[in-house]
């Protein structure tokens, strides 16, 4: 049964290497969505996920969908979404949309609403979607 120890040390080593790989190398691949700044800087490519906050006053119903602006505080992109918006979709909320960027408009056909870590009563504190959605905030 002593030989079992010879297995434990390399096994631990392998686990550490995998963890290190996950944390450092795959950091970018594990990012669930891109910010408007990142999408605007990138060349038009395949399907991407774009995440940001819906700019109040920009929501317009369009035939078969809805159009609105999404911002990360630095860059604002216009999204043309096909399909019904999510139940909780509204001005100021975080959204993640999936689709393609043609250099001017982001064409989305799949929308998810992102809730942040703040929970406010209706008559309680003000809802601050502050710093959204840099992703590397604490």
Interacting residue ranges for other proteins, rule: CB under 8 A: 1, 4, 8, 11-12, 15, 19, 22-23, 27, 30-33, 51, 86-88, 90, 93, 96, 111-125, 127, 133, 135-138
Q: What are phi and psi of 114, to 5 degrees?
A: -105, 125
**Closest to other proteins by CB, 62 or 118:** 118
How far, in Å, CA of 81 to CA of 101, rounded? Answer: 12
* CB 36, min distance to other proteins, A: 13
* CB 74, min distance to other proteins, A: 15
* CB 80, min distance to other proteins, A: 18
Contact 35, 134 (CB under 8 A): yes
**Closest to other proteins by CB, 47 or 102:** 47
**Closest to other proteins by CB, 17 or 102:** 17
Region of 64 (left: φ > 0; alpha: ψ -120 to 50; beta: rest) is left
How far, in Å, CA of 33 to CA of 122, rounded? Answer: 30
Residues in contact with 20: Cβ distance below 8 Å, sequence separation at least 6, in sequence order: none
Look up tokens 């505080």; give the residue: 73
* CB 69, min distance to other proteins, A: 19
**Closest to other proteins by CB, 46 or 138:** 138
């Amino acid at each position: 049964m002593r030989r079992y120890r010879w297995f434990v040390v390399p096994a631990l080593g392998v686990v550490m290497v995998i963890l290190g790989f996950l944390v450092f190398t795959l950091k970018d691949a594990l990012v669930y969505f891109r910010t408007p700044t990142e999408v605007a800087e990138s060349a038009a490519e395949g399907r991407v996920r774009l995440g940001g906050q819906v700019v109040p006053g920009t929501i317009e119903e369009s035939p078969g969908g809805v159009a609105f602006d999404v911002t990360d505080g630095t860059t604002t992109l216009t999204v043309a979404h096909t399909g019904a918006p999510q139940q909780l979709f509204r001005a100021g909320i975080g959204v993640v949309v999936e689709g393609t960027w043609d250099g001017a408009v982001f064409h989305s056909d799949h929308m998810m609403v992102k809730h942040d870590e703040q929970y406010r009563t209706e008559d309680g504190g003000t809802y601050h979607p502050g710093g959204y959605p840099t992703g590397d905030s604490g």
